[in-house]
Structure 1
Amino acid sequence: MSCFTSPAIMEMLGHYKWRVYEPFRFYLSEDKNDVIEVPVGFVTDLATVPRIFW
């Protein structure tokens, strides 16, 4: 099961836009071998799936 390693701290930039305020990691599996690291300043709409995961 996937999970965050810590809370995702973000700031709202506007309508459907968020910026990562503190870096965080997201485990894609229980064995914690597959990790996504999200850097400070990354902007997201919290819904769009990156093309690499299609």
Structure 2
Amino acid sequence: MDAGLFAQYVVIAIAVLASAVVVARKQFPGGVRRLRVACALPLVRDGRPPWLRRIGKA
């Protein structure tokens, strides 16, 4: 695959992903919040390394 074509695909994928995030935040704020909490809880548990806990608190 040509490098220019690959770069186009990457840019389009980033734009589609960003658009999906904006729509999800606008249409489903409660679902997005629950998803963030579900992802963060395992990271902030006792016994996790400090760098991993910082990621969970961000």
Which TM bucket (shorter chain)?
A: under 0.3
User: Of the two structures, which has the highest relative contact order with CA contacts closer than 8 Å and spacing of 6 or more?
Assistant: 1
Higher strand share: 1
Q: Which has the larger radius of gyration?
A: 2
